[in-house]
Amino acid sequence: MQYNTESLVFRSGLPSYVNLLKILTISLSCLIVVVSADVFYYQYNTPKWLVFDVFSIAILLFLIYSSRSVKVTVIGVLIALLLLNMLITIAWSPNKFEALLFALRFFVFIMAIYAFASLLTREQMLNLLIDSIYYSSVFFCVAVLYQRYWQGAPYSDVNFSPIGFVNYLGQVLNIWIPILVLAIYKNRHSVIKVVIGSISLLVLMHLLIESNTRGTVLGLLGAELIVLLVLLVKNKRFPLKYITISAMFGAAVMTFSMAQSNGFSKLQHQVLTIKELNSGREMVFRNTLDMIAQNPAGVGVNNFEYSHQKYAKMGTPESSPYVSNYSILPSPYNIILKLTSELGLLGGSIFVVLLSWFFIQSFMSFLKGTVVDTWVFMAVFSVLFHAMFSSVFLTPVSLFFSLLLFSVVISRAKSTKPVFLISRQAVAGLCLSLISITVILSVIKSTSSYLTNSGYKLGDTQKVEKALDINPYNYIAAMRLVELYLYKERDQRKALSRVEYVLGIYPYNVDMLIKASTIALELELNDKSEYYKDKVLEIYPDNERIKHLDLAR
């Protein structure tokens, strides 16, 4: 099967809105990988979520403009049931704002996939994915080289790249690397594009080795191995062209080792920790299963981090990693366990069915399709594999490129018989509602985040109070107010009030429980102090801070 090798950015003969959609998608894909702003508490994720929300709104506007009805299949019915499950669990979610925002973005994500699949042909959608990843990865690599080697900017795990935290890059590389190889192959007659793409690929491989993101490495090499085995059985010959990732990975290891004296030691450490499963994930998996068993209806959509401390077995050998007096665990490093713990057994089962269906569609396209479907499958396998060991799909850049990848898979999958039809008018009304809610929630979250960060830096208590007024579920603002009232305002009663406010959102936050007990003791509220001390001991029996507090009684 032949496919068009002409770049979509400059193609003619297409409806004007289609060209505009392509240019917008490619532009925002370049922006989302580099944008950051230290005016926000989360200087990487908050502006990137804003870009993602703008992108989502734009896609919905295009869907309205195209005036299309929606054909709902059995899969669509399952998606609707999953969304309904999410909305129901908001009722008992500690953080209702984050629960609603997650459900909204999930629905918008699904509608955006449908919009792409219906507005573009399968080849147009494929070329859009390829062009978006080609240009955004090149743009990203230029930004990395500029920051590190021209500006000499220091970096750590927190700001490892313009995408942010070190693991967030690995989540994106699962998609970028296979599709970038496909982009190079697709543009093989253009020397400039091949050279630029190959340099970008080598830079990305270097970053992958430096980051030690094992889930990405295993996902990519596992995908390559499956493809090689399937094609070897199918065609009775070894398909050398599909060992590109291994070849580039080997080249990157060699050049990285020459540039860094510890290059091979990094790789050796990576292999050993994979072999030994030395990550602590098995502990959080077990504790999350206990959490599911005790909450068969779920703890509330996107509320894992607000409840897991209760089940984390802190202070024991079975403790979930990164959970302590001061740190939290935002996800169980497994998308299925996360959603099952939040939505319950029913919601988790529906999600597994949907994820399995999507994987099967990609695999069937690989078996029956061309070289294109093979590389798309490698990206799909890699990202789904990594999602079993990381917070894939939960960060804005990962979700952005997953949306494009999923749209390609859906557009190339065999169509199924619709169950019912949603009229154009209803689709337009639904999209307008989603746009309105997205704008409102996005503005609330970003404005509150900005006021929290700027107010705390300036020591402006009223500014942080305003942030909490705008978003009553902004627990970061409430925690900052505790510090401001304790150390700036010297008002312990207001500080205790804000600690208790945080605990209404974050009921098992050990640091806040200890603070509540400490402040109550200093205010001679002994019964209240004992109450919060007992709450700590329920979930962290051998807590040293509580022992020191007992000595002060």
pLDDT in tens, 394-427: 999 999 999 999 999 999 987 778 888 889 999 9
What are the phi and psi torsion angles at 456 (to 5°)? Answer: -70, -40
Structural element, H or E, at residue 119: helix 96-119
Domain 449-551, CATH homologous superfamily name and number: Tetratricopeptide repeat domain (1.25.40.10)
329-377 pLDDT tens trace:
788 999 999 999 999 999 999 999 999 999 999 999 999 988 899 999 9
Q: Which of 281, 361, 385 is nearest to 329 (CA)?
A: 281
Burial of 16 (C-beta count, 10 Å sphere; 0-12/13-18/19+): exposed
pLDDT(84) > 60? yes
Q: In the chain, which segments carry CATH 1.25.40.10?
A: 449-551
Q: Provide the 8-state DSSP code for 414.
A: P
Residue pair 104/441 in contact by the 8 Å Cβ criterion: yes
Q: In the chain, what percentage of residues exceed pLDDT 70?
A: 88
pLDDT(272) > 60? no
pLDDT at residue 66 in the model: 84
Spatial separation of the C-alpha atoms in residues 302 and 324, rounded to whole Å: 20
Q: What is the mean pLDDT of residues 500-510?
A: 94
304-327 pLDDT tens trace:
999 999 999 888 888 888 776 666
pLDDT(552) > 60? no
Q: What is the mean pLDDT of residues 217-227?
A: 90
Q: Which of 174, 132, 107 is nearest to 375 (CA)?
A: 174
DSSP 242-270: GGHHHHHHHHHHHHHHHHSTTHHHHHHHH
Spatial separation of the C-alpha atoms in residues 362 and 226, rounded to whole Å: 13
Spatial separation of the C-alpha atoms in residues 87 and 107, rounded to whole Å: 11
Q: What is the mean pLDDT of residues 276-295?
A: 83
Q: What is the mean pLDDT of residues 153-161?
A: 88
166-193 pLDDT tens trace:
999 999 999 999 999 999 999 999 999 9
Residue pair 171/391 in contact by the 8 Å Cβ criterion: yes
In sequence order, the 6+-apart residues with CB closer than 8 A to the CB of 357 are: 75
Spatial separation of the C-alpha atoms in residues 386 and 395, rounded to whole Å: 13
DSSP 18-85: HHHHHHHHHHHHHHHTT---TTSSSTTHHHHHHHHHHHHHHHHHHHHHHT--EEE-HHHHHHHHHHHH
What's the N-to-C CA distance of the chain in angstroms? Answer: 78
Contacts 24+ apart (CB under 8 A), 468-476: 470/444, 471/97, 471/444, 471/445, 471/447, 472/97, 473/95, 473/96, 473/97, 473/98, 473/505, 474/97, 474/445, 474/448, 474/449, 475/95, 475/502, 475/505, 475/506, 476/41, 476/449, 476/452
Residue 317 DSSP SS3: coil
HSE value, Cβ hemisphere, 13 Å, CA-based, for 452: 28
Q: Provide the 8-state DSSP code for 324.
A: S
